[in-house]
Structure 1
Amino acid sequence: MTVIQNQAIIDKSVGHVYGFLADCNNHEQLMPDTIYNWSSTRDEARFTVQNMAKLALRIDRRIENSEVRLIPLEKAPFDVILRWELSTQGDNQTVARLIIEADLNMMMKMVAVKPLQQLVDHQVDRLRLLMA
């Protein structure tokens, strides 16, 4: 299993950050420009990755003020889990960590790790900016 992650310290309460991440409708704001054809509900998101594929994700688990986990709604090119982990740090600060766990064979790993790391970095940075 390949694990890709990044984190940021957000100057908002863990409840505020969790409330944003627990709704898939908000995740479009975290996506890079290479994502289009976005449609979502509170629990699911469907979109196209430029020059790649259509994806559909659903929230599989919500642990209030702690975790939001997304998994593919339909068959994906590889098994993947996206997980936002949240924890309180001091007064009114939240550590938000995005973790992608992907079951990549060696060939897929060579092709996919860099774009997945860029996606994680972009989403974490966007969350920090949106919550500022």
Structure 2
Amino acid sequence: MSVRRFGVSLDEELLEALDSYVSDNRFANRSQAIRHLIEKDLVEEKWKCDNIVAGAITLVFSHQKNDILKKSSEIQYKYREVILSSQGFYLNEQNYLEIIAVKGPSHKLTEVSEELISIKGIQHGKLVMSKAQ
């Protein structure tokens, strides 16, 4: 793949934000960060077209709250046509990490992830998707 150069003009505030993004994400330079952002945007646009995608939903919560795992299982059963697998890990005495592998239409994966992440007591949740075809 050949690389082509071009110039970009940004106002000071936006350039500072880009530099922070480069630093925070440990990119080697601005070009890598801009490439990453463009590719990310292109993938997200494809999600809007409702392509078949694969991904993972990660949830972090207190494993001492048994109702969270029960609710998560109920939601996963409801969406079993897009759930490939799930796995859980005890991070420490308090926290539990659940990773749920998914594949299906992007709107369905977004729907299931939003339902899981909205369970009361979820400390952190995120859906990561990639084109599957």
Considering fraction of residues, name the structure with more helix. 2
TM-score of the pair, normalised by structure 2: 0.38
Q: TM-score, normalised by structure 1?
A: 0.38
Comparing both structures, which one devotes a greater share of its residues to strand?
A: 1
- Larger Rg computed on CA atoms: 2
